Each structure stands twice: as C-alpha cells, then as structure tokens.
Structure 1
C-alpha cells in the first residue's frame, strides 16, 4: 500500500541547550569520579528519558537534602536552588556540586545586586517552578514579589514604587514577557530592568524557529516533558504563530494519530531538555506511516558551551 506523502519541517535550533548539556555532564562526571550512588536534588533537567538514563548509571533523585546521606555527593539541578540549600549542605559538611545553569546564576547575581542597592524585586515567572523558587530564594522573604500575568501587575503591592527592579525566569514566552514588562514600566516608571534580557538565548532561539515553522505546517509536535516550562511555551508559541494543532509529546508513543489524520505537513521541534534520540524516534514513527521528506527550518546557529565546575575537572 502506498504511503501518503508528508513534509516534516524540522526546527533548528531544537533540543538540548548548553545549560542542560552541562548539567547532565556534571552528573555523569560525578558518578565517574566518586562512584555510585550520587544524589541529585530535584530532577537534574525536566525530562523523564534523561532522568531514567542517569538513574540507571547510578544517580538517585530526591526532592530534599534530608533524603541524602551525609557521606555521598549531592548535585543541585540546572534550575537553581534557594540560597538556604547550599548553606544547609555546607553546615552538614556535605560534598555538593551546583549544576545551576550559568544563565540562571546570572539572574541570581542580578537579584542580589539590586537587593544590595536597596531595591525590592519583582520576578516574572511561574509559581511553583523550581527556577522561580530558586531565584526568589536568593533574597529574604518579601524581597521578591512574583507576577505571572499582565493582570498580576495591576494588583501587586510594593514597598516603594520608586525603589524597584525586575528579573524574569529564563524559560518564558518572549512575547508574553514583553507584555508584562510593558505593564510593569507603565505602572512603575522608575523600575530597573536587566541590562540584557533574562530569557535565555536557547529559549528565544527555539521560539523563533517555531514562529518560522508554524505557518508552513498543518500540525506541530513539541518533544518535551509536561513539567518543562520551555517545552510548554513552544506549544503556545506554535499555536499563536498560526499552527492549527500543536501537541506536546514525551515520546513517539504519545502521538495522537487521530488528530493528525489528513495532514500533509508537520512541524517538529524539541524543548531544551529533550534529547535528539527522542526527536529521531518521533520522525521514525512518521516514516512507518508516511513517505517522509524532512526539511530543516534553520533560524540560528548555536555554539555556546559552559564549563563544568572545577571540582569535577580535577583528579580524584
């Protein structure tokens, strides 16, 4: 039986960013250096395949420090942690390695600098997301106020409208964040923003690739985890950019084939914590059903690389 033709528009950049790559490498190098088990506080990155792979190599994932034995190394996830966490690890004389993405650490440093200058912070982010918890936890209680929407800006209660600064989560929708920043500046004209956008290069680049791809595709799949902020934003960006059907899938098994009946073109991308092996798995699933032509949609080239902490580069 002849397979129907399908053009797959494959977004580039997609998948792993430098911060995710570094975090995974940190866990692997820690296991190599100190042997298993190595404990990881929170999922190192938001992807089940990656977490399961590291677990098989000897990583043990926990939510809090008190679940870690004092004599084994512990790694903090790429999303960042509140200041109290490394302080507690040091108090307990634990060997710990911080895998926080350097671009998240940059936001932490910004927040601390504004606090030193006597400014109260407003953070644009998602309540309950580990990165938001980590950033807000850099400063004392009440010094960072969270806003998630333009509507939140209208009701946020600040100490002094003339002494304010804002930071953002690194994995937000670029367009939504621009609207919230505009609302903040309209309500608080004296508010101080970051020198350069806090939303990271990888989040921005992946959203731009989706915007370029979405109008060409009858449907779009984003390979990523349901708890991955940047992956969920890609689905929203695709829908807003004109793609009538956009779905988040963790793996090929999650594809809703009935929703894709009759399509002639498909956009595929992957969140920053999704490995390329899962993208290939999805493409292979379509090759089983369609005569596939893959067309890359390239909007940027990425060559960013972050060094792992010195403690892992030194001999044991």
Structure 2
C-alpha cells in the first residue's frame, strides 16, 4: 500500500543544551570515578529516559539530602539547589558535586549581588519548580517575591518600591516573560533588571525555531517530559504562533495517530533535556507510516560547551 506523503519540519536547534549535556556527564564521570552507587538529589534533568539510563548505571535518585548516606557522593541537579543544601552536605562531610547549569548559577550570583546592594528581589518563575526553589533559596526568606503572571504584579507588596530588582527562571516563555517585565516596570519604574536576559540561550533559540516552524505547518510535536518547563513552553509557543495541534510527547509510543489523521506536514522539536535517540525514534515512527520528506528549519547554530567541575577531572 502506498504511504501518504508527509513533510517533516525539524527544528534546529532542538534537544540537549550545554547545561543538560554537562549535568549528565557529571553523573557518568562520578560513577566512573567513585563507582556505584552515586546519589543524585532530584532528577538530574527532567527526562525519564535519561534518568532511567543513569539509574541503570548505578545512580540513585532521591528528593532530599537526608535520604543519602554520609559515605557516598551526592550530585545536585542541573536546576540548582537552595544554599542550605550544600551547607548541610558540608556539615555532614559528604563528597558532593554541584551540577547546577552555569546559566542558572549566573542568576544566583545576580540575586546575591542585588541583595548585597540592599535590593529586594522579584523572581519571575513557576512556583514549586526546582529551579525557582533553588534560586529563591539563595537569599534569606522574604528577600525574594515570586510572580508568575502580569496579574500577580498588582498583588505584591515589596518592602520598598524604590529598592527592587528582578530575575527570571531560565526556561520561561520569552514573550510571556516580556509581559510580566512590562507590568513590573509600569508599577515599579525604579526596578533594576539583569544586564543580560536571564532566560537562557537554549530556551530562546528553541522557541525561535518553533515560531519559524509554526509558519510552515499547523501541527507540531514537542518531545519532552511533562515536568520539563522548557518543553511545555515550546508547546505553548507553538500553539500561540498558529499551530492548531501542538502536543507534548515523551517518546514515539505517546503519539496520537488518530489526531494526526489527514495531515500532510508536521513540525518536530524537542526540549533541552530530550536526547537525540528519542527524536530519531519519533522520526522513524513517521517514516513507518508516511512517505516522509525532511526539511530543517534552522534559526541558530549552537556551539556552547560547559566544563565539568575540576573534582571530576582529577584522578581518584
């Protein structure tokens, strides 16, 4: 039987970013250096396939430090942790490695600098997300006010409206964040923003590629985990830019083929913590059902690389 034709638009860049790549390497190198088990506080990155693969190699994933024994190494996830966590590990004389993405660490440093200058922080982020929890945990309680939407800005009561600065989670929607920033600046004209935008290059690049892809097709799949902030933002950006069908899938088995019945084109992208093997799996699933023509939609070229911590580059 003849397969129906389908144009597959592939976003570039897509998938792993430098921070995710570094975090995974840190776990692998820690296992190589110290042997199993190595404990990891929180999922190293938000992707089940990646976490399961590392678990198979001997990584043990826990939610809190008190679940870790004193005599085994522990790694802090790419999302960052409150200051109290490494302090507790140091008190217990644990070996620990911080896999926080350097671009998240940059936001932590920024928050501390503003705090030391007597400013109260407003953080634009998602309540309960590990990155937000980690960033807010860099400063004493009450020093960071969290807002998610422009509407939230109207409800906050800072200590001194003239002494404010704002920071953001690195994985937000660029356009949605701009709306919140505009609301902050309208209500607090003296508020200080970051020298360079906090939303990371990878998040921005993947959203731009989705916008370009959305002009070519009305259907889009984002490969990523349901708890991955940057993946969920890609779905939202696709829907807002004109994709009438924009869905998040973890892998090929999650594709709703009935919903795609009759399509002649579709865009494919992946969140920053989704490995290329899952992207290829989805492409192969389409090739099994359609006569596929692939087109790359490239909006940026990424060549960023982050070094792993020195402790892992030294012999055991």
TM-score bracket, shorter-length normalisation: over 0.9
**Structure 1 runs of 4+ off > 2 angstroms?**
none
Residue segments in structure 1 that go unaligned for 5+ positions in a row = none
Deviation per CA, 1:178-202, whole angstroms, max 9, x where unpaired? 0100100000000000000000000
Q: Counterpart in 1 of 2:273?
A: 273
Q: Counterpart in 1 of 2:59?
A: 59
Q: Please tell me whether the aligned partners of residues 62 and 68 of structure 1 are also in contact (alpha carbons under 8 angstroms).
A: yes
Q: Counterpart in 2 of 1:303?
A: 303
Q: Please tell me whether the aligned partners of residues 171 and 229 of structure 2 are also in contact (alpha carbons under 8 angstroms).
A: yes
The 5 Å alignment of 1:71-220 reads 71-220=71-220
**Residues 1:47 and 2:28 are matched in the alignment:** no
CA distance in 1, matches of 2:278, 2:157: 44
**Residues 1:223 and 2:223 are matched in the alignment:** yes
Residue segments in structure 2 that go unaligned for 5+ positions in a row = none
CA distance in 2, matches of 1:54, 1:116: 39
Query: CA shift at 1:217, angstroms?
Result: 1.2
Q: Counterpart in 1 of 2:291?
A: 291
Question: What TM-score do the two structures reach when normalised by structure 1?
Answer: 1.00
How many residues align? The count is: 316
Q: Please tell me whether the aligned partners of residues 218 and 242 of structure 2 are also in contact (alpha carbons under 8 angstroms).
A: no
CA distance in 2, matches of 1:124, 1:154: 14
CA distance in 2, matches of 1:140, 1:215: 45
Matched position secondary structure for 1:108: helix
Q: Please tell me whether the aligned partners of residues 218 and 264 of structure 1 are also in contact (alpha carbons under 8 angstroms).
A: no
Query: CA shift at 1:218, angstroms?
Result: 2.9
Q: Counterpart in 2 of 1:238?
A: 238
Query: CA shift at 1:215, angstroms?
Result: 1.7
Deviation per CA, 1:73-98, whole angstroms, max 9, x where unpaired? 00000000000000000000000000
Deviation per CA, 1:106-156, whole angstroms, max 9, x where unpaired? 000000000000000000000000000000000000000000000000111
Question: What TM-score do the two structures reach when normalised by structure 2?
Answer: 1.00
Report the RMSD for the aligned CA atoms in angstroms: 0.4
